[in-house]
Amino acid sequence: MCNTAEVIIVGSGVIGCAAAYYLAKQGVSVLVLERDQSIGNGGSSRNGGGVRQSGRDPRELPLAMYAVEHMWPKLSEELEIDVEYHKQGNLRLGKTERHMEILQGLTERAAACGLDVHMIDGAEVRKINPYLSDEVIGASWCATDGHANPLLTTLGYYRKARALGVRFCTEEEVVAIQKIRGKARRIITAKAVYEGETIIVAAGYESRAIASTVGIDIPMRKELIEALVTEAEPKMFAQMLGTADADFYGHQTDHGSFVFGGASGMESVNKDNGNMAVSSITAPCICRGIMKYIPKLADAKIVRTWAGYEDLCIDGVPVISSVEEVPGLILACAFTGHGFGISPVVGKLLSQMALGEETFLDIREFRYDRFQAAI
Amino acid sequence: MKRYDLIVVGAGPSGLSAAIEGAKRGLQVVVFDENEKPGGQLFKQIHKFFGSKEHKAKIRGFVIGEQLLKEASELGVKVVLNATVTGLYMDKELVVKIADTIYHYKGDAILIATGAAENMVTFEGWTLPGVIGAGAAQTMMNLHGVKPGNRILMLGSGNVGLVVSFQLLQCGCEVAALVDAAPRVGGYGIHAAKVARCGVPFYLSHTIVKAEGEECVTGVTIAEVDKKFQFIPGTEKHFDVDTICLAVGLSPMSQLLKIAGCEMEDNPKRGGQVPICNEYGETSIKGIFVAGDVSGVEEASSAMIEGRIAGIAAAQYLGYIGIEELEEKFEENKAALEGLRQGMFAPENRGKLIERTEEGIPVSMNLLTKGYIAEDEIERYPGVTHRAGIHPVMECSQNIPCNPCQDACPRHCIQIGSHITSLPVVDESAQCVGCGLCVAACSGQAIFLVQEDYEPGYGTVTIPYEFLPLPQKGEKGYGLDRSGQRVCEAQVMEVKTAKTFDHTNLLTIRVPVDMVGKARFYRKSC
Amino acid sequence: MSRRIAEHPILGVQEKGEKVTFLCDGEILEGYEGEPIAAALRAAGIMKHRYTKKEHTPRGIFCAIGRCTDCVMIVDGKPNIRTCVTPLKQGMKVQTQYGVSPKPFEKQ
Amino acid sequence: MQHINDRAIAPGTFIPEPDDNRIICRCEEVTKGEIRRAVHEGMYTITEIRRYLRTGMGLCQGQTCARLVKGIVAKELGISPAELIPATSRAPMRPVEMKVLAKEEGRHV
């Protein structure tokens, strides 16, 4: 089997799969290398499925708005799989005056960027979602936000890319990228050597180690966070929920189960057994958080809990960037927990970058060399 | 956090045995079990166990459970029921759901003894109400006192399928047929013979085509399969049944170990996903032990020994005993374990066709395909003899590790010898007094007392009988042969019950003299 | 209670809790306190516990030990209750489950 | 035969079988045909099948169907079932109500 391709993508997460799909659609030969045995086994299969614009950093907002306006609504049709996209709004809930201040700030910044998001009071909140408790005194409301199924989106991109001829190789852990005649070209894995004209590294936190083999460092860290899912419940509400306190976020899926993420507060020091182990205290904490907001879910049964790593960038937005000093290398990493909602647009941008085309959105804010010392 | 020396998950045979050995050596032990009743599968096993005294042979499973539980509580082991271990976390932390609260505990050592879960097969209609696991049938009849159905078809001729079929008959259900896709009976021949003589037909090389019914099972169609397990057209057979019972093997329930991060392997010989562990049952994580079916599907008897070993190993791991004691006890228990793993049904013989016994006698092929030994095969076995006066006839034809009959006879008529799997032989020099202790002691119900010269033209046969209602002395009925066919008229001459018989009643029937070698079951005329 | 085993040849007469009554889809049934709901239903000859969400096909007891979750019903208004491991209590209200609802599909 | 890592190696064409409509995952009502088809669409691991079709993601968490799914996927890929790593086991081992999971005891001595 031939070990060369025009573009080699390291990482088969939703970003890598989307980029592979948009490239293959243009007739480019693509090879995707995945460390794990399963496709998209990192954050792409572990996130809460939010497709939000509100609450985002203004630098990232144009990407999210583009994705929501132009890509998500047609994605099921494009991928020929129901990605369970619902554009039925996002409520970011507040219970205290301090919460309301946080929400006000976020709302003002997003509105200034042209997003239709506004503050609503407790009564309006319960009109949108009658299951929310009286403790909720207000929320920010963005009617064009929503959620989708990250598992089906990732595998949908994979399936379609594969059908278009993209070659995916699993259990191929990239050890190093090698420059050949001044260009990033060769990829060494534990088992084989691959060559490509362009290399896209979209491997989550592991991108840092891979990029460092050609002398590039991205200032990021990883954090093990957790999520849980309930049994199927009768249909209750369609919005994506979040809170000012970030104690939980989530939604009800088409299946009827609720997927919620949340935090115990110990995330920055969580330890792991190498298996993305959950801790014994996080799920109970998430449940307590949820019950304060949605008391009716107290009887809902939790059937699974899981953990996954976030690749957190030092300044809170991702690196989506060509690396001029290493020609042929493109980085797409450090998504800081907001990658899923913008994955279609990032995939499309990456395909343009790999083809040397001018991107349809300005991505200078995501340059790999933007990081500066404090003083 | 509340910490124990040893936390045991699962109060079945291996878990309780480990808890006992740990507690004996000074460990503070707690056992959690998600069920309402302790004992695991033991409490559903109402038959007498095989093996020898050290394996608790001829004691019924649920009684062994009670004994273990009593011993554990006397040693101060805390057994917490209705306690579901929901997760095993880092630093040997367990989260346990008890009533409406979850509790956090840590163990310096942890023993996972969660047993096994039933495998399933699919066929058309397999999701209909009325299709149940064999374990479900056992649970309903033996724990809850409810018949799982009235007329039942059993799929699976392994020991579970055979034992549960017999239990179904005992609680008053009708077993329409026993079916297995394999060409030969998978379980002990003596278990099969018990079922066959009650008239249950065996269909080997057959499997279920479909479960019939719209809203629940009303019938079933089976058909013969070829060597590649494909249906042979035209061989379909229909049965009117309301319940289909599936007994097609077990898989270790090792999920907690996977969650904990123990190294696992897929080992078909052990029944599926099992942790990689050393000879003491210690997994790749120091201080996390396993015993019983979770580490490889076997019998409750071997689970108890594995539990003992793991309990002793945990005591050594925690410094309560020295390595010498562990090694010494390990050797003892290993010998006991090896005793159980001998004979035709030893793990290495699984799936193999064994054509001759250790004694060189041809194995009954009829037993393997029909569930009973044929007329022309029975005389081969050393336990089947003819002589004047009352004497035991032992229809024990396979080498299994079992010897209670030898100990049962006060006159030493029966000999197995030092090799526990040997077939029993009759000592011609010893005089049988007809006490029937051997009949009641045989876990396989394969011993009969025969008197060919009871009165002119008539002889008597004494059979083990574990059904209700108990026939009355003088009652008239029929003698059934090994296949369950009515072969003669029979009259009940004596019904013996005794505490030492442990619910195995001895029924002496009078039959025509040419039937003493054939009549092996009694049924009142219907 | 035709399916009850009055006396078992090995286990004898099994101990039971108090006799109680409960409602199953509006019908008054008898059972014993503390036994699994599923046991009381099977004793009363009831086989169907629920209808599935996608194919609307009937399900009943399958494993009887709380693992397979096929026997779930709506108990006292709560859906997805494993009847084989949930003890029966006097006055319990048990309903056939359609998908996750007590309402038949045509009324959902 | 090793597990197939190169997803360009296809398991041949999908040929319908008479029992494709048979339910395999009882909780989520996933059929044999859906599982077989998913393999042909590139889902080569139990984890991918599970995420794609929800096999083993229902109330019982795959306790009944895990072995059956494994057998079907392995047969379709032409490998031994032992080559397929089972889906990750996840706590809680049994469904637990949110209000129960929320009520913790014993964290402190």
As given in the structure block, the two tokens for residue B433 are: 């007094």
- One digit per residue, pLDDT tens: chain B, 526 residues? 999 999 999 999 999 999 999 999 999 999 999 998 888 888 889 999 998 888 889 999 999 999 999 999 999 999 999 999 999 999 999 999 999 999 999 999 999 999 999 999 999 999 999 999 999 999 999 999 999 999 999 999 999 999 999 999 999 999 999 999 999 999 999 999 999 999 999 999 999 999 999 999 999 999 999 999 999 999 999 999 999 999 999 999 999 999 999 999 999 889 999 999 999 999 999 999 999 999 999 989 999 999 999 999 999 999 999 999 999 999 999 999 998 999 999 888 888 899 999 999 999 999 999 999 999 999 999 999 999 999 999 999 999 999 999 999 999 999 998 899 999 999 988 999 999 999 999 999 999 999 999 999 999 999 999 999 999 999 999 999 999 999 999 999 999 999 999 999 999 999 999 999 999 999 997 5
pLDDT tens-digit map of C22-79? 999 999 999 999 999 999 999 999 999 999 999 999 999 999 999 999 999 999 999 9
Q: What is the pLDDT of residue B321?
A: 98
Contact partners for chain D, using 3 or more CB pairs closer than 8 A, are: A, B, C
Fold adopted by A90-143+221-313: D-Amino Acid Oxidase; Chain A, domain 2 (3.30.9)
Alpha carbons A25 and A7: distance in angstroms, whole number:
13
A284 reaches B (C-beta below 8 A): yes
CATH 3.50.50.60 in chain A, residues? 4-46+151-219+315-366
Whole-prediction pTM value? Answer: 0.96
Does residue D2 belong to any structural domain of this protein? no
Strand positions, DSSP E, B410-497: 414-415, 425-426, 447-455, 458-465, 476-480, 486-496
**pLDDT tens digit sequence for D7-47:** 999 888 999 999 999 999 999 999 999 999 999 999 999 99
Residue B399's identity, in one-letter code, is N
List chain C residues with CB under 8 Å of B145. 4-5, 8, 11, 14, 16, 39
> Touching check for D15 and chain B: CB below 8 Å?
no
Is residue B10 within 8 Å of residue B96, measured between CB atoms?
no
Phi (first) and psi of residue A265, to 5 degrees: 95, -10
Q: How confident is the model at residue C1 (pLDDT cuts 50, 70, 90)?
A: very low
pLDDT digits (tens, 9 = 90+) for A52-70: 999 999 999 999 999 999 9
Helix axes D32-40, D66-77, angle to 10 degrees: 40
Residue of C nearest to D60 (CA): C68
Calpha distance A160→A105 (Å, rounded): 41
**Rounded Cα distance, B39 and B432, in Å:** 38
pLDDT in tens, A23-51: 999 999 999 999 999 999 999 999 999 99
What is the architecture of the domain spanning B2-117+250-340?
3-Layer(bba) Sandwich (3.50)
Residue of A nearest to C78 (CA): A299
C-beta separation of B243 from B149 below 8 A: yes
**Contacts with C, A 274-313, CB within 8 Å:** 299, 301
CATH superfamily ID and name for B120-246: FAD/NAD(P)-binding domain (3.50.50.60)
D67 reaches A (C-beta below 8 A):
no
User: Given an 8 Å threshold on Cβ–Cβ distance, is D82 in contact with B34?
Assistant: no
C-chain residues near B130 (CB < 8 A): 47, 60
Identical topology for domains B2-117+250-340 and B120-246: yes
* Mean pLDDT score of chain A: 96
pLDDT at D2: 60
CATH architecture of C19-100: Roll (3.10)
Identify all chain C residues contacting B144, using CB atoms and an 8 Å cutoff. 35-36, 39
Residue D8 domain-assigned? no
- Domain chopping of chain B, boundaries: 2-117+250-340, 120-246, 374-524
Contact B92, B108 (CB under 8 A): yes
Tell me, what DSSP letter sits at residue B303?
H
CATH class as words, domain A4-46+151-219+315-366: alpha beta
Total of domains in chain D = 1
Domain region containing D69? 23-101
Helices (H), A302-370: 339-354
**Angle, CA of A294, A299 and A304, to the nearest 5°:** 95
Residue A365 half-sphere exposure toward CB, CA atoms < 13 A = 14
> Structure tokens of D70?
């494994």
User: The CATH number of the domain where D93 resides is what?
Assistant: 1.10.10.1100
As given in the structure block, the two tokens for residue A371 are: 């990081």
